[in-house]
Amino acid sequence: MPQYKLTYFNLRGRAEISRYIFAYSGKKYEDHRIEAADWPKIKPTIPFGKLPVLEVDGVIIHQSLAMARYLAREAGLAGQTPVEQALADAIVDTIDDFMTLFPWGEKNQDVRKKAFDDILTNKAPELLKDLDTFLGDKKWLVGNSVTWADFYWDVCSTTLLSCKPDLADKYPRLLALRERVQALPAIAAWIQKRPKTVM
């Protein structure tokens, strides 16, 4: 079995999707969390200078969604057919496009709050409406079984709801999907034991 090492800050952030997949698959890995104060000296040693990275038997994979897509394929969570895999990728990319709108690194709290409020008020409803339409009355976003797209919705919506708790109140099907993901025994166990972080 490969040796896995996941390196990121002590946050859910862009590494949490990979942690969900590890939890669900039961694969052992090193969850290496670094402190922000140590980042300047670690950064030059990281390919492309960004976190997270995933080491697989010493080979370093960068880009959070490339890492997660690899892990999803290994765990049978990428979709059952090539078309399902493409649809799962498309949903993940759609959610990620939205998440990258936020100025996560903005240090001016007034500027940050204004931007977050604007995105959550004016742009989020369109995304939620489209996701709800795509999900419809299905149990999972893609196909007949859970995929990493369902996990990514849960990971990202957890962060969004911490910013605006009533964000998805008009979309009970999307909230029910979150509940289904969080009820999966391995995911429930991970959520219970993971470090409590702001995002």
pLDDT by residue (tens digit) across 72-87? Answer: 999 999 999 999 999 9
Contact call for residues 12 and 64 (beta carbons, < 8 A): no
Provide the domain count of the chain: 2
Residues in contact with 128: Cβ distance below 8 Å, sequence separation at least 6, in sequence order: 167, 168, 170, 171, 174
Decide if pLDDT at 198 tops 90: no
Asked whether residue 39 falls in the same domain as residue 107, the answer is no
Beta-sheet pairing, 53-56 with 59-62: antiparallel
Taking only the tens place, the pLDDT of each residue in 55-76 is 999 999 999 999 999 999 999 9
Give the pTM.
0.96
pLDDT at 148: 98
The residue segments making up the domain with residue 14 are 4-76+186-193
* Residues taking part in catalysis: 8, 14, 104
Taking only the tens place, the pLDDT of each residue in 93-117 is 999 999 999 999 999 999 999 999 9
Closest CA to 58 of 121, 3, 117, 136: 3
Asked whether residue 20 falls in the same domain as residue 68, the answer is yes
Q: Check residue 10 and report its DSSP letter.
A: S
Helices 148-163, 172-183: axis angle to 10 degrees equals 110
If you average pLDDT over residues 127-146, what whole number do you get?
Answer: 98
For tokens 């140590």, name the residue: 38
Asked whether residue 31 falls in the same domain as residue 88, the answer is no
pLDDT at 197: 93
- Gap between the Cα atoms of 137 and 135, Å rounded: 6
Question: Reading across the β-sheet that carries 59-62, which strands appear in turn?
Answer: 30-34, 4-9, 53-56, 59-62
Asked whether residue 70 falls in the same domain as residue 8, the answer is yes
Closest CA to 33 of 6, 58, 59, 60: 6
Average of per-residue pLDDT values in the chain: 97
Asked whether residue 94 falls in the same domain as residue 178, the answer is yes
Asked whether residue 51 falls in the same domain as residue 107, the answer is no
Q: What CATH number does residue 65 fall under?
A: 3.40.30.10
If you average pLDDT over residues 11-21, what whole number do you get?
Answer: 98
pLDDT at 119: 98
Asked whether residue 15 falls in the same domain as residue 87, the answer is no
pLDDT band of residue 1 (cuts 50, 70, 90) is confident
Asked whether residue 90 falls in the same domain as residue 177, the answer is yes
- Gap between the Cα atoms of 86 and 90, Å rounded: 6
Asked whether residue 64 falls in the same domain as residue 103, the answer is no
Q: Give domain status of residue 100, yes or no.
A: yes
Q: Check residue 195 and report its DSSP letter.
A: P
- Classify burial at 183, counting beta carbons within 10 Å of its beta carbon; exposed 0-12, middle 13-18, buried 19 or more: exposed
